[in-house]
Amino acid sequence: MASSHTVLMRLVASAYSIAQKAGTIVRRVIAEGDLGIVEKTSATDLQTKADRLVQMSICSSLARKFPKLTIIGEEDLPPEEVDQELIEDGQWEEILKQPCPSQYSAIKEEDLVVWVDPLDGTKEYTEGLLDNVTVLIGIAYEGKAIAGIINQPYYNYQAGPDAVLGRTIWGVLGLGAFGFQLKEVPAGKHIITTTRSHSNKLVTDCVSAMNPDDVLRVGGAGNKIIQLIEGKASAYVFASPGCKKWDTCAPEVILHAVGGKLTDIHGNALQYNKEVKHMNSAGVLATLRNYDYYASRVPESVKNALVP
């Protein structure tokens, strides 16, 4: 009986199935060959048919099941009738078997805000860098990111034509994060992951100040957080205002659920209440371990340039 489960766990279980459907749509759009690319604000700020269809799918599927939720999606789409085949009404039963952390057991639907990035890493998607692409559904309560789902539509795509594509990672604060193998970068190694297509002098100055052994320039905030939890990078450094709340909400939960930390460049926690501005205007600093080391190396000039 669904009513025996808490609102939060029902929402996470539904969002998991919805994210899997989203991954299927992302793959289908590429397979059909017409990406339907539109420039939003610049040549690096793109929207594709996949962004549009996935957002309609996620937001409509969630709104049908949870009509009192606040849902904030990245794409500014005109209201239209959503095709029934975009609706996902299933839920991942494995999640419903998990206990809801007691501090969230009495949460009401109307108390939750869901931040949706239908396709994180759009530019990379258009260029065929498919391992950079994620679908992000983040759930916030009282301004704090508390549950998140990341679907990687093309996980495993380099394993050959018969590979099973895609995986879904999920997490709830106080319960844990699931769907991946936690790994750490070797001790003493400083590997920085940062933006591939939105770099500038502030970003490069901040990355250099970390004294990195290596710098990985990749697309997608979801992808960068996955690099942290899978031992490919030790810090995600983005000293610029380009990142938005829908980019960070879900990944932040996964990172925090395994003991990592994500803040702005000044060390402030990000806020996710529905009235908050969408831009993370003071950038992002995230690590799985040794947060204080990286935070201590952010240059004052960078902090002064980025106003929260």
- Over residues 290-300, the pLDDT tens digits come to 999 999 999 99
Question: 51 an active-site residue?
Answer: yes
Q: Is residue 182 part of a domain?
A: no
CATH assignment of the domain containing 238? 3.40.190.80
End-of-domain residue from the set 176, 203, 237? 176
Residue 11 labeled ligand binder: no
Q: What share of the chain is helix, strand, coil (3-state, %, to 5)?
A: 35, 25, 40
pTM score > 0.95 for this model? yes
Contact 147, 254 (CB under 8 A): no
End-of-domain residue from the set 176, 200, 216? 176
Instruction: State residue 2's pLDDT score.
Output: 44
Catalytic, out of 48, 51, 131, 287: 51
Same domain for 282 and 205: yes
Distance CA 286, CA 247 (A): 13
pLDDT of residue 46 exceeding 60, the answer is: yes
Catalytic, out of 6, 48, 122, 168: 122
Question: 193 an active-site residue?
Answer: no
In this prediction, residue 3 has a pLDDT band, given cuts at 50, 70 and 90, of low
Instruction: State residue 41's pLDDT score.
Output: 86
Burial class (CB in 10 A: 0-12, 13-18, 19+), 94: exposed
Residue 117 labeled ligand binder: yes
Number of domains comprising the chain: 2
Residue 119 labeled ligand binder: yes
End-of-domain residue from the set 155, 176, 197? 176
Tell me the chain's radius of gyration from C-alpha atoms: 18
Domain range for 245: 189-303
For 72-83, how does the pLDDT look when each residue is reduced to its tens digit (9 = 90+)? Answer: 999 988 777 899
